[in-house]
Structure 1
């Protein structure tokens, strides 16, 4: 697959919805240890709201699709995850533009814009024990794989692997942002729930692009 079109992106969103719904209890369990115990429920609710919104008709352009996802998440998900995930999709859509498909570099630019939006909104960095510990290495790996001549599907698989490694690397960290930071050293020894859901985001992207 040399390009990413609206059908593939909608498949990604649908797969992400299915996975966060299936893993809702696990995500909530992770959040119960260091947060508000609502991350799984919030993400499932938000992505089901996205599915309902898109059931009314598929937007014709990439920017419309991604911005619809983003705006729905911002308006339907409580806590930090709604604004952060919403910003990711909104910024990605703004960068993608009113097109019906994206080549590899254009899709990489959209992912990078989404990441930059999360950084700006959350004011965190790698090592703070947040979703960025999975998202930054994932987007970097996507770019690196493309630069090495890989297809978007191959780049997404590299991003999936990097996101999973980033998620796992949050376990020994002491949280420096968000509610988990209130626990201080007690936040160590637990996976960050936002990094866990971000790993799901890139896993489902890789599956959508490869058609697995």
Structure 2
């Protein structure tokens, strides 16, 4: 099963909502190794984007709007990084009327490849890559076994959680937190935290939409 791009502004709305709900938590974990403004900046960018959503927007159009706001309206390093990622998600799906397993794979492949044009970070450096890379690997592995879209999205979400949890034991090797050296060990990475939230919101909403589509398809006229 799949869902229609033209009808699913809900995915973008729920990605905004999860950042808004967890802005304090993001700033709290950022304060352990950074300047404590990650939640503030992310909330600002996502809220500004949500204010410009229109009911007619497709999922891809809303994701592109988030990209534009993040790159143009919030400070720090995370705005351009996430802006680039969202732009990749949008461009890989913009011409697709149906979001199915193959499109999901293309979207997250493109998002990651675009993000990597801006950062030299690799898994193990204690960044959002420690969530994105294993999440994408899990998605691709599930799709390769001809798993359902729901199973593939659940695998993505589970791997994202594991990736975030693993950052706690890592020493930061890139970004502001790297200046702390070994003192960065013992705290999860804030960028990894926001990435976990965004992937979870995407996966949970997409699974809900797919299940609703199945229920509708089996409801007798």
User: Match for residue 31 of structure 2?
Assistant: 32
Greater Rg, structure 1 or structure 2?
2
Matches within 5 A, 1:164-175: 164-175=161-172
Partner of 1:44: 43
Report the Cα distance in structure 1 between the residues aligned to 2:66 and 2:137, rounded to whole angstroms.
23
Kindly state the Cα deviation for residue 129 of structure 1 after the two structures are TM-superposed.
0.2
Q: 2:145 aligns to what?
A: 148
After the TM superposition, which residues 56-135 of structure 1 pair with which residues of structure 2 at under 5 Å, given as runs? 56-60=54-58, 63-135=60-132
Instruction: Give the distance between the partners of 2:4 and 2:188, measured in 1 at CA.
Output: 31
Distance of 1:99 and 1:173 partners within structure 2? 39
In 1, Cα distance between the equivalents of 2:160 and 2:66?
21
TM-score, reference length from structure 1: 0.92
Q: Distance in 1 between matches of 2:101 and 2:186?
A: 37
CA offsets per residue over residues 66-107 of structure 1, 9 Å max, x none? 322211211122111111111011112222232332221122
Deviation for aligned residue 1:4:
5.0
Decide whether the 8 Å contact of 2:169 with 2:186 is kept in 1: yes
Question: Contact between 2:64 and 2:90, CA under 8 Å: does it hold in 1?
Answer: yes
Equivalent residues of 2:172, 2:185 under 8 A apart: yes
Counterpart position of 1:20: 19
Alignment partner of 2:188 out of 186, 191, 194:
191
Please say if residues 2 and 151 of structure 1, whose CA atoms lie closer than 8 Å, have aligned partners that are also in contact.
Answer: no
Unaligned runs of 5+ residues in structure 1 are none
Cα RMSD, aligned residues only: 1.6
Aligned length: 209
- Structure 2 residue ranges without an equivalent (≥5): 210-221
Change (3 A) 1:53 1:76: same
TM-score, scaled to structure 2: 0.88
Map of 1:179 onto structure 2: 176
